[in-house]
Structure 1
Amino acid sequence: MNTSIFGNTPLHRCDYLSSKYQCQISIKKEYFNPNQTAKDRAAWYMVKDAIAKKLIKPDDILVEASSGNTGIGIAYLAKQLGYRSCIFVTQNCSKEKLRSLENLGAKIVHCDNSNGLLDKNSTQYRAWSFAQMNRNSYYTDQYNNPENSRAHYETTGPEIWQQTSGKITHFFAGLGTTGTVSGIGKYLKEKDNGIKVLGIEPKGSILAPYKATGKVPTSDTVMEKIEGIGRKFVPGIFDTMAVDQILQVERSPTVQTALAYYQHTGMLTGFSSAAILAGLEDYCRNNTVDMRDHIVLLFADYGDRYLHSLYHSLTTKNSVYD
């Protein structure tokens, strides 16, 4: 298999955002990976690690709990390399992601939530339980598998550093498994500890208070629904030292920000990317940025996977296709 197809994604200056915030803003376009998602990197690292350690054999089942994108990456690799795949998703997984999983031959299991191993109705518990009961299966476990963050430490981080000629001052990424921000943040901090690393999550997620206090909140706050990011448990791979600040955003402003971005650029952002834009707005409103700053936003996937959720108001008018 040609593994060079993963990574080496472009980083382009966004004229609209740079003009709006009066600084240099670039987009790391992870949707240029084979399956149009940053999760291809983590999927490949986790699978190749399992192969190297002889944890899987041909025709075994690769199992993952996923909001969709990592599952797509796992299912793609399974199909390419002679394995099967079983992906556990929540009920709000987008129709477009489900269609991609089906086309890749994955078995799809719908679960009530994604609240971690302590909840028996969660994607994580049911994926783990399935792998425990089926000897010919392997749970890649993106929330606790260090290969997830290692993929970004060894590939995405160096790419961003090289593509900005080391002039990056701020980095924004969504917080889901936390593998992306943990790996990239660690790499960038080693290069220049002055780089500000910002994580974005929905209001009601627990990672911001956990980062601030070191304790998991006990209150059961309802979390805003922004597909792909937000947690009710702390992933084992989360490196709090790699992140300077976590910003929480609400769903409604996120949707409006995505629509405004489309109207100005003609580009459809993924849901987590739209959340990053909302977080950027909040950050620039409350902090001083100037033309010397170079902000990099990681867009994990493209908006065509969210036409029925994020862009429903546009699709009903057919304006997305104009």
Structure 2
Amino acid sequence: MDLPRHDLGLLLSLDVLLAERSVTRAARRLGISQPALSAQLARLRDLFDDPLLVRSGRTLVPTSRAEALRQPLNRLLDELQSLVAAELPFDPMAGPVTVRVIATDYIHAAVTGRLVAAFEGRGDGPASDARVVPDTRVIMMAHDPQRSRQDLEEGRADLMIASEPLLPQGAIRSRLFDERFVVVQRRGHPRGTGPFDLDEFCRLPHVLVSPVGGALRGVTDEALAAQGRTRRIAASVSSFLQLPPLLARSDLIAMAPERLAMACTRDLDIFEPPVTVPGFTIHLAWHPRRDRDPRICWLRREIQALHL
């Protein structure tokens, strides 16, 4: 192995190739042409005296040598990133900034508007005072339990916003805000707009949101059971985003996160629940590999400063 003939950029290319298992996708991610990356792969094969990636159908499959290289390669690139970061702090004003955030559908509906407005300098609070960054793009990505951890690890996403049970194992997290539940009904509901008592709450038909799908019992039912009560579940849906249109066309009521309800006040009335239901905490999370990345540190500070 003649290391002086090769540059360290080849190792970054190898890391991306092992992640993408496609020269086309890896070249796009690295911002170089496909022929240029193919030439780099040839040099990598020469450097390690191994094919590294072999074709199987339409994908490239790592050899056993390449698989053995993944963890030490990740550690080496992390150390190099820390070395560069120590000397080159991130300056958001130096060029375009792209923010990629994985979020649940509830976060998309309740928080995205404020997040985008703040980065454009149109938000409320301290984060919008002087944090207008030229050419900022906010990309909100859907949460996929099968891909979110890998997207964070491999840099396709910067951060994730979600409740504790949905966060990838091993992710570093910081509390973003606490959420509570409120009762919602459509505007013009025949019951009127008075406060709910427990009897009426239990008697009226409810929509239950079950993120895993199909459940007919949730935290509200646990709270009611502690008082020896039950409610009437008329429908179960898998997403909080399904609530507003469903409630608008029916006389159903539902328990919903307050921030989501506040985003829909044109169509929904909001009430205090007649039973104490535990809320949940939303976290900002990132992969340990990027804990000291100046760009990620800056993004975390900006989002925390929004006081969402």
TM-score (norm 1): 0.25
Structure having the higher Rg: 2
TM-score by length of 2: 0.26
Q: Which has the higher strand share?
A: 2
